[in-house]
Homo-oligomer: A and B are copies of this chain.
Amino acid sequence: MFADTYSTSIKVNADFTVSFELPKLSFMFPQNYPYVGEWETVSIGLNKKFIWKASTNNYYITKDLIKNVLRIRGKFDHKGTYGHGLIVGGSYGKMGAVILAAQACLRSGAGLVSVHIPKCGYEILQTSLPEVMISIDSSQEYFSFLPKNLGIYTAIAVGPGIDTKKQTQKALLSLIKSVKNPLIIDADGINILANNKDQLKHLPENSVLTPHPKEFERLVGKTKNDFDRNNLQVAFAKKHKIFLILKTAHTAIACPDGTCYFNSTGNPGMATAGSGDVLTGILCGLLTQGYTPLETSVLGVYLHGLAGDIAANADAEQSLIASDIIEHLGEAFKEIED
């Protein structure tokens, strides 16, 4: 098997693969799993600086890297230091997505968190999350108008549970034009963009999009294989000057500068309803407190996977649900600091 290109010719089924110093790009892709199996890296004495400065544009997110990204809080920091995040989400029958995202946003360290929701979510949100404030939409059942005072929010995430109704599409497209700072966009937010590709040019620079493979396909197009998909992902991120996060086992973060980061945490127990909403909330929480979009993407994806690993370890992959990931975020932060 070639390390960095796709080949259908010669393959060997493997249970375990050893790589020198760093994993190969091919290890990152689902299609190669039968030929790679589980893997491990072995140090052959290369200087660490050399490795990271190698001509590759692909990085593997390790705990060492994350330790450098994570900031320690200052003694006299106050609520204002950590910003005010907003989650725009929810529609009739899908309000839970906002609960998960908002709770994850709070637990990731945002100073204040508000949600913009349709009226049918008012009591649901206030009962579930006493720490969260509400901006109410004029619609009973879906996102239909811009939140007031958009300027008070340090960072905004949009998408969890919003559905793709016409008025919601209009509201979302109006939102991306009204905001200058990077946005976090997920789920039906991405599907709406896929339906309105001519509007992609209005996306604020350095916005972070987090499609799963099907949403990716709708947004970017069909691809022949995983190598091809990765190439397209990077090209799309460069072209639109965004961070494009493709959620798979080794979640890949394509950056506006053409680099790509692959995640090392997470487990298949996280293939459960609402897991993506939790990631959206974490990303919003990090961006809100002042991490750059690159730091937000790399740290957020790593934290999400690590909290999921801790959760799966505490119980079992089969019974892991999205709320468990949120519940173990504190331990994940702690494990990085140790």
Q: Which A residues contact B (CB, under 8 angstroms)? A: 30, 33, 38, 73-82, 92-97, 99-100, 106-113, 120-124, 126-136, 212-214, 248-249, 267-269, 271-275, 314-323, 329-331, 333-334, 337
Contacts and interface: CB of A to CB of B under 8 A. Distances in A.
A272 B131 contact: yes
25 contacts: A30-B76, A33-B75, A38-B75, A77-B271, A78-B213, A78-B248, A78-B268, A79-B272, A81-B268, A93-B126, A95-B126, A95-B130, A96-B133, A99-B130, A107-B319, A110-B272, A112-B273, A113-B273, A123-B127, A127-B128, A131-B273, A131-B322, A315-B331, A315-B334, A316-B331
A67 to B, nearest CB: 14
A88 to B, nearest CB: 15
A284 to B, nearest CB: 14
Nearest to A104: B319
A169 B211 CA distance: 42
Contacts of A122: 93, 120
Nearest first, the 10 closest Cβ-Cβ pairs linking A and B are: A315-B330, A96-B130, A93-B134, A316-B333, A319-B330, A73-B268, A30-B76, A99-B130, A109-B318, A77-B268
A315 B322 CA distance: 18
B107 A321 contact: yes
A122 to B, nearest CB: 8
B212 A78 contact: yes
Contact of A318 (B73, B120, B275): B73
A196 B334 CA distance: 46
A79 B337 contact: no
A128 B82 CA distance: 27
Contacts of A322: 130-131
Given A100-B130, A126-B96, A212 B79 contact: yes
Given A79-B271, A131-B321, 5 more contacts: A73-B267, A76-B248, A79-B212, A107-B319, A110-B272
Nearest to A274: B131
A79 B132 contact: no
A125 to B, nearest CB: 9
Nearest to A214: B80
A136 B77 contact: no
Contacts of A107: 319, 321
Given A99-B130, A127-B127, A133-B96, A269 B320 contact: no
Contacts of A100: 130-131
Contact of A106 (B214, B249, B321): B321
Nearest to A128: B127
Contacts of A271: 73, 77-79, 81-82, 111
A138 to B, nearest CB: 14
Contacts of A212: 78-79
Nearest to A31: B76
